Chain A
Amino acid sequence: MKSWRTWGVVAASGLLIIASWLVGRLTSAETVADGLMIAAAVVAGYRIAVSAVQALRVRMVSIDLLVVVAAVGAMFIDNYWESAAVTFLFALGKALERATLNRTRRALSDLVDSAPETATVLRDGEPEVVEVWELEPGDIVVVRNGEQIPVDGRVISGNGGVDEATITGESVPAEKSEGSEVFAGTWLRSGVLRVEAIGIGADTTLARIVHRVEDAQDDKARTQTFMEKFSRWYTPAVMLAALIVGLLPWSLVATMDNLELALTLLVIGCPGALVISIPVSIVAGIGRSARDGVLIKGGEYLESSARVDAVVVDKTGTLTNGRPVLTDVDILDDDYSREQVLLLAARAETASEHPLAEAIISGAREAGLEIDLVEAAEPVAGKGIRAEVDGRVVAVGSADLLDHRPDNARILELNEQGRTAMFVGVDGRAIGIVAVADTIRDDAPAAIRALHDAGIRVVMATGDAERVARNVGTELGVDEIRAELMPEDKVEIVRELQSRGHTVAMVGDGVNDTPALALADIGVAMGAAGSPAAIETADIALMADRLPRLPYALGLAKRTVRTMRVNIAIALVTVAALLAGLFLGGVTMSVGMLVHEVSVLAVIAIAMLLLRPTLAQGGAEAPRREKSLDLGAGDQATVRV
């Protein structure tokens, strides 16, 4: 059905009604005026009648039939105006509903439309433009500045900034270089990339997101299931009531006869706003969140998310960066500068495979030092490393590696702060201390604050040592710190919170946290863009690796559920008010249809408010801090990163 035809019918019917009015007012040709009114009813009602017959053919009594019966009935009692008004308003309402409903679905159709159609593939070294479906996994595609990345794949050469907003909702371009993962449907904003195709078409993350969002939009909330059961009884009840009223031998309302009353009852009894109030809210809420890189599994999960008042968060990789960085360089021997201590430690560590070594070397590089490899080194199990640097023996590790046992107090102090501290020794004498630690993510404090502002209790759960956990937890201000946990202990924490009456969301990495994620009321996966399993299984999947999206998602869920409630209230109050107005007098068939259609449109319009972008860039999500290493003079011989 073409939209111009739909609107054309509405416009023609409207013009006929106006013409009828003018003829009736300006002339005495009542027959012409009545004829024009009947024509208006037929023009607007024809398609409704066709639709009613189509429904009857498949054994269905539809709302269209109620309207047609009412309109035809009105004509039989010579109420042509009512007949024309009812059909015109119904046709207008349907056209408006269709247009507005499609706008609420647009959040998703934008995603479908963002699927790329062509790709430049290298065939025998030559670039060739092909349709995306012609690609095979393993093909090498070239993406130039300003072009769309056509496949999920891995960068094999080149550098560039990629706008991943379609997938992660993140508007700041992500830097990509050799080995980086890229997603179909994202845009290269600078540079040139050669990408090896891994996922094509329906196998891409974009397709997975689209399917996930569609399934989520179709998933019924508990409230919706209840309302559908209700309207299943409600519609036949209205019809039965209309029939009984129509057959009553005495008048129920003084101003109209019982047949007219029965027909009016049919019109105002349409459960339109009632049945549409919930799905339209869910479509809008889930569509909006998908645009912002948050996938919510469905209506039921929206309702649970709206009730969440406790969040269990894994520490490593969620609240912290998950990899140690250099935090402190102390001098113990005045003959050496901080640069020298750091340089010697870093050079000795070039022979080590330990993750802590990586932290020291990167820290030294970031401080502008050049690190040459050492040739000879000897790792000492559980204690550290001893290496030969420029003819001297440099040791990095515990006091056991040194000849003269130094004072351990500073090491213990750093340990107390949750850092791993090591002596740096030259020829058996301690010259300094280096310390590394997993650092708090830049966006974690904002996320915790936002959760607290929403009245949500935050529990940090980690397998790490108590003092490390306490340090991070205290700095972030979480409500409860649970450390030295085994995976099954996290299940216990979730169970305990639930038994205290909390609705619990659990944020985890989906592997060893699986049992706790399953038990929690809402399981949340972070950085899910690279993990198909997380997109499929998590109740809430945050596509970008950003914790502040969690309070955003929970807030959006609350707004959506609030919208559902407001909409149900509007629908019920409308029907109740119309029924009251009908029996008290004053509500006619056309007034009933008008109020009814207005209520349906109001319900859709309120749901559309959910589509407004609310994800604050730089507000809820703190801007990234620049790292700085200060190796200059100062009483406090410490480098903070």
Chain B
Amino acid sequence: MSVREQVKSIVLRSDEFSCPSCIAKIENKLNDLDGVESAEVKFASGRVLVDYDPAKVSVRDLVAAVAEVGYAVKPSAF
């Protein structure tokens, strides 16, 4: 199995994004994690879209990492 095939996507939602400066903060933090392929913050709709490798990093780790820079997020089914 190639690395590419292991990548999963998750949407994290938050109602705490109040200033667009949080975008780079969260994106930088997540992208620095081992196992995160890409992380993109959608400020207006309050979403964080993350492509990650579940073998290296869990959704729980992703939520914790965002909490470390000061924002509470929840994984979303859709």
Contact = CB atoms under 8 A, between A and B. Distances in A.
Contact of B44 (A60, A218, A272): A218
Given A62-B25, A202-B77, A217 B45 contact: yes
A160 B71 CA distance: 45
Interface in A10-47: none
Given A58-B32, A201-B77, A63 B19 contact: yes
Nearest to A109: B15
Given A54-B69, A54-B70, A108-B45, A202 B20 contact: no
Contacts of B71: 1
Given A94-B18, A275-B20, A276-B20, A58 B78 contact: no
A49 to B, nearest CB: 11
Given A55-B25, A202-B78, A210-B78, A272 B70 contact: no
A352 B8 CA distance: 57
B19 A283 contact: no
B18 A58 contact: no
Contact of B78 (A97, A207, A218): A207
A393 to B, nearest CB: 64
Given A60-B24, A102-B15, A105-B15, A1 B44 contact: no
Contacts of B68: 54
Interface majority SS (helix, strand, loop, mixed), chain A: helix
A102 B70 CA distance: 17
A222 interface: no
Given A55-B69, A63-B19, A201-B77, A279 B44 contact: yes
B43 to A, nearest CB: 6
What's the interface size class on B, roughly? Answer: 20 to 34
B75 interface: no
Interface residues of A, number: 37
B11 to A, nearest CB: 9
A101 B70 CA distance: 17
A63 B69 CA distance: 14
A229 interface: no
A211 B47 CA distance: 11
Interface in A269-290: 272, 275-276, 279, 282-283
Interface string B22-44: 00110011001000000000111
Given A218-B42, A279-B43, A97 B15 contact: no
B45 A283 contact: yes
B78 A1 contact: no
B64 interface: no
Nearest to B41: A218
B19 A211 contact: no
Contacts of B32: 58
A101 B18 contact: yes
Interface string A209-240: 01101110110000000000000000000000
Contact of A214 (B29, B42, B77): B42
Given A105-B44, A214-B42, 17 more contacts: A1-B16, A54-B70, A55-B21, A63-B21, A94-B19, A101-B17, A102-B15, A105-B15, A105-B46, A133-B77, A201-B78, A211-B78, A214-B45, A217-B42, A218-B42, A218-B43, A279-B44
Interface of B: 15-21, 24-25, 28-29, 32, 42-47, 68-72, 77-78
18 contacts: A51-B70, A58-B69, A60-B21, A62-B21, A63-B21, A94-B18, A94-B19, A108-B45, A210-B78, A214-B42, A217-B45, A218-B43, A218-B44, A218-B47, A275-B19, A275-B20, A279-B43, A279-B44
Interface of A: 1, 50-51, 54-55, 57-60, 62-64, 94, 97-98, 101-102, 105, 108-109, 133, 201-202, 207, 210-211, 213-215, 217-218, 272, 275-276, 279, 282-283
